[in-house]
Structure 1
Amino acid sequence: MKLSQVKGNTWVAEGMELIPFYKLDEHRCILLDTGLLSEREELEGALLDQGLTPAGILCSHAHVDHCGNSGYFQQKYRIPVALTAPEAAMCQNVLTLKCYFLTLSPDTVERESACMIHTPDVILPPEDGPFSFAGAEFTLIHTPGHSAGHVCTVTPDGVCYLADAVLSHELLGAKLPYNLSQAMAMDSREKLRGLPYDTYIMAHHGVCTGEELPHLLDANQSLIRTRAEEIRALIPRPMTLSQIDAAVCAYYQLFTHKPNRALRFERNIRFFVEYLVDRGLLEVRCRGGVALYGPPSSQAAAQ
């Protein structure tokens, strides 16, 4: 795993995603996320090869590709882990983790993601602002939406780690971008406009300048609106969620033979349907005990 300097003492480990870390000195660093379980040996080895050991973990959110090794580093190096309260709660046990995976069974969650279960030592304050952690001064910016307690972190070098609050240019073709709440994620992106920092890191392979960020935010917002409209157009009449899933997967050619992957598609589609319902672009009905989603009654009557 390659380690690359971003600015000053702010670096990234380049794995399946970018894992930022801040060097306290030549021997200690603070990890801003810990990556996937499958990356554990590679991440730890890359740090040790450079003479670095973790001194703390300031985690952006509790998703499997961001905190898969937090408990491991916490126990092995006896270092503190910091998370927001909603994210810390999700890491308590298999059933709280299921709130993230949603469509996966408890046994599947345990089998695939038990590595996420740990108890953070520090709960991040709910307000934006300065935060001292493990010997360094950071700034927190709360950006819920992608997850309930997602947070962006600014290092002492003035580098802002956006984590999953913003998709990099590389991912702007995503067919079903995941956000627990599309509306809240969009609100959080608007909150990021006008920040004074000159460098921004996105977890999924992106570093941009302050000048580039507004254009990237525009593209992110446009992606969600476009996907929502495409999905709405596939629901011309009251349909079950399963029928909507089939229509969306066919439209985007999301063909898979893996049940767990299909269940993740179902989850992501549901979040778009909920967004459309909350915006008044779809209406929920019930027939024979089954929920149906379709155009609003007023729109259907007009047609």
Structure 2
Amino acid sequence: MASFQNFNHETQLPSDLLVAQIMQIHATISKLESLRPSKQVNALLTHLVKLCILPSSIDIKALPQEAQAMRQSLIVLCGKAEELLELEFSTFLGQTPNPINNLTLFPYYGNYVKLANLENKILIENGIEQPKKVAFVGSGPMPLTSIVMAMLHMKSTHFDNFDIDEKANEAARKIVASDVELEKRMKFETKDIMEMREKLDQYDCIFLAALVGMNREEKVNILEHIRKYMKKGSVLLVRSANGARAFLYPIVEEHDLVNFEVLSIFHPSDEVINSIVLARKPLI
């Protein structure tokens, strides 16, 4: 079988070859005893990411049922591996003298910085600059978006981070506790977004992490719930995926954002994986 290394960023990888290689990786990953960081897990996921960011004209909706089921399974497996990687790194950083100064050790730190730069630019272009209060739903044990936004872009904004996993929040709190100024502006709460109501109307901007809602039905329910309870005129920034990147993360399309005003949809073409969808809850 041809290797993805024979293709570069100017060459389109044929869809059938791309799917065959991704299915092969999925078969290997799904047989692993553990998805904790290891040479094998890291190598497989790096190979997968490199495949998924190559130029391709793949139409995810047109995939046969078998490939659709594999994609859904792969999103769950990659999500679990990502969570375990973040937890391991966050725990390790929490034991260093000044975790905030060591964030660059995280292997995907540069990607988070690039994504935060893009998201901040899109927010500013749509009139959202230095919001007073922001919520990040699905912040995880390495809340890098909130930290990067707070330190580089939104220097007076208060961030409330929500995650369903208390262990993730504990690890995240330890990192932020090492910076007195940041700790004042950043809180972590263990909550299920579907159980949050009144609190959601406090925020000027809500970020929804890519892995909150692992399939379309869950995602649409979450979007509808947030829209119902968020403040009129405030914005929701949703992370999505496009093309082959949708083997890594769920897709959010414009028609999924019922009764929202969609302001911007951006699909990256570099090593940034997530697409960015910005929507506003209408004032009326």
TM-score, shorter chain, exceeding 0.5: no
TM-score by length of structure 2 reads 0.30
Which one has a bigger Cα radius of gyration? 1
TM-score by length of structure 1 reads 0.28
Give the structure with the larger helix fraction.
2
Give the structure with the larger strand fraction.
1
Q: Which has the higher contact order (CA 8 A, sep 6+)?
A: 2
